[in-house]
Structure 1
Amino acid sequence: MNKPEQQIIHPYISQIFGTPDELSRHTAPLYLQLQRKIREAVENDVLKPGDVVPAEREIASVMGVSRVTVRRAIDDLVEEGILTQRQGAGTFVADRVEQPLNYLKSFSEIMRERSKKPGSRWLDRSVGMPHEDELRALKLKPEDEVVRFYRLRLADDKPMALETATIPRRFLDNPFEVTSSLYDALTVNGIRPVKALQRLRAISIDEKRAKLLEIPEDSAVLYIERLGLLEDGVPVEFTRSYFPGDAYDFVAEIRSVTHVSQMLDQPPSD
């Protein structure tokens, strides 16, 4: 008499999701359970940045759920930026860059710290009159000229950000002085910002910018305006950047008001 054929669970999937019985023991919706399993696999380095995620049909077959359920779980994680989808290639763990918000560093510095090769694809370098938002941010007069830099920022040749930087021309006369890092050029001229104000908001990307960043139109991106200041508060740099949501984790250290007050109340040390 032949023994009943046993289902063999693919070890890669079982390492991420466990067994079908584990899903059935919980009352949470199946798609949320799958999401949690994938998220934990990413957090615990079972799935690493750049790893391919098992195909929807394979997960559905092995775990005994519908492809609709699997697709919903994956789509939500793509929306969160944990996973990324490449047309014709599949679903992958997003290769994210952690960017601190409480330290003023250039794009090139951040990429080098993460062992990535920074680069730029220049879209425009020009001298012109300031636009209304540049007038306000940089506290310029209408007749003051500015230098603009419009470029696609790359890490290991992969698009990571779309950036427009504006500098008052009195600080940097020739836009072609900047060949790679803007902050390096400003440092040479003795005007590197030492502090900055940043404003962040999530927006949907338009078709033109989406093509440059190689992401789908209407994808969620993080739009950041940064105003770089000298020690005396004089604005020297106004940068507007678009960051794909699946490429970055923005991190900031936050302290309670009570903690800050206690630090301020401490007597100075001898």
Structure 2
Amino acid sequence: MSSSNKIQQTTDRIRSIVDERAAGDRLPSEAELAALTGVSRVTVREALDRLWHEGRIVRRWGAGTYVADLASAPDQPAFRNIYVSIKGVTSLPAEIIANGHQAALTAFTVERITPPDWVAAELPSDADVWRVTRCIAVDGVPAIVMRDLFPLEFAGQRTNPTELSELTTDLVHFLQEAGVRVVKHESVLDAVTCDEETARLLGLAAGEPILHGRQRAISETGDVVTWSDIFYRTDVMGTVVIRTVND
């Protein structure tokens, strides 16, 4: 049996175990699941990753794995979910530079704001957030506007958003310095018309079509810790999706 088929069969078996339990119930350990399914812990871990991606389980660092409450989970069609290992997520400017281009930060602002509706639903009602706006030029041409939103504090420690003014300081490592380990990104890409402020930063006409990404970063505790609106000038930046089969 191929490795991918073994992982899929193990995923199906563990999914049935999950379905037999109530929301909030703790699942057996990886070692116990390996004994139950007759596979290695590595295969069990891969299967649990898939179930976590499906939203069926919650993994709490140092505490175990629990059945997710599907009734309260956001309704997201499966075809909109694309999962990429967080290990491959690095600083975007660093990637630009590594590919032989020049990157420069041409705008940087920090504001304390009341979160917009799409963020407020995942925060306490009285919460404020930082909004950090950055514009990155590629080879001298403004190419990307990133608007990152995150809480004023993590674990009681005040965040310092001015650290993101360093071109090579990416959000994942910024959060790690604040004691938050990001393990998952969820992104949705769509085409929008350019608002006046984004158009000004990118040197475009307001109302011009532009590629937009809306992103949520999720910690190892299952909490959403940052929200991002990212705008790409499509004559400078593009998106390529590559799908492969692993047997």
- Structure-2 separation of matches of 1:167 and 1:157: 29
Identify which of 99, 114, 130 aligns with 2:115.
Answer: 130
1:111 positional shift: 1.5
- Structure-2 separation of matches of 1:188 and 1:126: 21
**Runs of 4+ that moved beyond 4 A:** none
Deviation string 1:180-229 (CA, Å, 9 cap, x unpaired) is 22424223223252320001111222344223201234332101001111
Counterpart for residue 176 of structure 1: 162
User: Is contact 1:220-1:244 (8 Å) kept?
Assistant: no
User: Is contact 1:101-1:251 (8 Å) kept?
Assistant: no
Counterpart for residue 152 of structure 1: 135
Larger radius of gyration: 1
Counterpart for residue 199 of structure 1: 188
Measured on the aligned residues, the alpha-carbon RMSD in Å equals 2.6
How many residue pairs get aligned? The number is: 157
User: Is contact 2:145-2:232 (8 Å) kept?
Assistant: yes
Q: How do 1:91-240 residues align onto structure 2 when only pairs under 5 Å count?
A: 102=84, 103-136=88-121, 139-171=122-154, 173-180=159-166, 181-183=169-171, 184-240=173-229
Identity, in percent, stands at 20
Gaps of 5+ in 1: 1-99, 264-270
Summarize the Cα distance change of 1:164–1:128 in structure 2 as closer, same or farther, 3 Å threshold: same
TM-score (norm 1): 0.51
- Structure-1 separation of matches of 2:243 and 2:233: 24
User: Is contact 1:104-1:195 (8 Å) kept?
Assistant: no
TM-score (norm 2): 0.55
User: Is contact 2:106-2:142 (8 Å) kept?
Assistant: no
Deviation string 1:120-149 (CA, Å, 9 cap, x unpaired) is 23342022332222112xx21022231110
Counterpart for residue 64 of structure 2: none
Deviation string 1:145-172 (CA, Å, 9 cap, x unpaired) is 3111012122243211112100112235
The one-letter amino acid of 2:92's match is: F
Gaps of 5+ in 2: 1-81
- Structure-2 separation of matches of 1:220 and 1:150: 20
